[in-house]
Structure 1
Amino acid sequence: MRNLRPWAAAALAALALAACRDTDRSPLAPNEPSFATSSSAIYDQVEFLGNPLVSEVTIQKANHDLYNRTQPYNTATFAPQTGAFVTGVAGRPQAYANTIASVLYPDMLVVDTSKPGSTAGWLSWALANGYGGRKLTDDVVDIALIAVFSDLLSPVGASCSPGQLPLCTDNVGANDRAFSPTFPYLATPNS
């Protein structure tokens, strides 16, 4: 009986892994490559997060799976949904929505290494002629809320001033734990 336990555990693990495979996936977006390795193994991209909050907030929920398996340059398909969020939910003019979408697409973190590293920050490449990228300390939720709802970039249709409730801050000032001085630099998780 003891000799069967490892085999039974292995069989259950294999069955569980097979059951986790999502075989009922929607087709890939047009011109979307499938990623293969030299060993002929094919991997499915199951999540795509370039700029924070773009997919989670501005893309229609029904399109999240397609968005998560697309490429950053699929602007024509998804930028209009982001624009519709900015005009419909935030109540901003179409021209403002177009500006926000042009900054968020293609949906990838942009880093301009010709700029001083001290100017690094999410969206700084577009909004402040900075380095770009994203520092661990960047409050990307507040930055996104400020960009969409505040009067920082335009007063037309703005709901609040930067950092002010109800829509221009998540009211969370900082991490509750300090970042580590060594790689991977993230704070220790709460337990």
Structure 2
Amino acid sequence: MRRSLATRLFTVALALPLFAACSDDDNGGTITDPVVTTPRVYSQVERLGNPLVSEVFFAKRDHGLHNTTAPATDITNGFRTKIKAFTDAFNRGNTIGTTLGAVLVPDMLMVYPNRAGTTSGWLSWALASGYGGRNLKDDVVDAGLTATFGNLLDPAATVLPGLTSDNISTSVRTYGTAFPYLEAAR
């Protein structure tokens, strides 16, 4: 038995709302939707507010401790001592080790909103009374290596050639002036 075209169109028209209701798109939810009350548990995997802290200054066996503990425990965990021991092993002098320990422990990305935003930049809060934070264009790896193995923090320190840069230019990217600031993926 063949159904007429009108009957088939009518059937499709009736079924269409049913299929639309089966969508997995929950963007159109209403305020009567049930509230999810199951608590979510997150596991901290890495801390990278100040890059190089764990990667450069700590032995591999200490990376897990650093990455899974809070900044509030950094002094108790001996992280200042570990930074100083690392710089001492390279004969970087007291000024460099003490300064790095003071600005990197506790390991938090500091921001001072009461200071001029034009002074933002990695470690600017500690080294230049700046705003702090990080700019997209900040080459934090080179800055950290220069502070550790150069004479940025101590003009009398010997520069250790080959250790003050990762030799990757920051000029390979462009940044916009509006959110999301980053260029499209390549």
Query: Is 1:62–2:58 an aligned residue pair?
Result: no
Query: Is 1:128–2:124 an aligned residue pair?
Result: no
What percent of counterpart residues are identical?
Answer: 45
d(CA) in 2 for partners of 1:114, 1:125: 11
Give the TM-score, by structure 1 length: 0.69
Partner of 1:49: 48
Please tell me whether the aligned partners of residues 92 and 156 of structure 1 are also in contact (alpha carbons under 8 angstroms): no
Partner of 1:167: 163
Counterpart of 2:174 (choices 168, 173, 178) is 178
Deviation at 1:63, TM superposition (A): 1.4
Q: One-letter code of the match for 2:142?
A: D
Q: Which aligned runs of 4 or more in structure 1 are off by greater than 6 angstroms? A: none
Please tell me whether the aligned partners of residues 146 and 169 of structure 1 are also in contact (alpha carbons under 8 angstroms): yes
Counting only pairs closer than 5 Å after superposition, residues 12-91 of structure 1 correspond to structure 2 as: 39-76=38-75, 77=77, 78-88=79-89, 90-91=90-91
SS of 2:131's partner is coil
Q: One-letter code of the match for 2:43?
A: D
Give the TM-score, by structure 2 length: 0.71
Give the number of the structure whose alpha-carbon radius of gyration is greater. 2
d(CA) in 2 for partners of 1:116, 1:108: 20
Deviation at 1:51, TM superposition (A): 0.6
Change (3 A) 1:72 1:187: farther
Please tell me whether the aligned partners of residues 73 and 105 of structure 1 are also in contact (alpha carbons under 8 angstroms): no
Deviation string 1:156-187 (CA, Å, 9 cap, x unpaired) is 44325xxxx42222233324131244433223
Partner of 1:117: 117
Deviation at 1:131, TM superposition (A): 0.6
d(CA) in 1 for partners of 2:39, 2:54: 30
d(CA) in 2 for partners of 1:95, 1:151: 10
d(CA) in 2 for partners of 1:94, 1:69: 29
The CA RMSD measured in Å over matched residues stands at: 2.0
Change (3 A) 1:187 1:57: farther
Change (3 A) 1:42 1:137: same
Deviation at 1:95, TM superposition (A): 4.4
> How many equivalent pairs are there?
148
Q: One-letter code of the match for 2:118?
A: S
5+ residue gaps in structure 2? 1-36
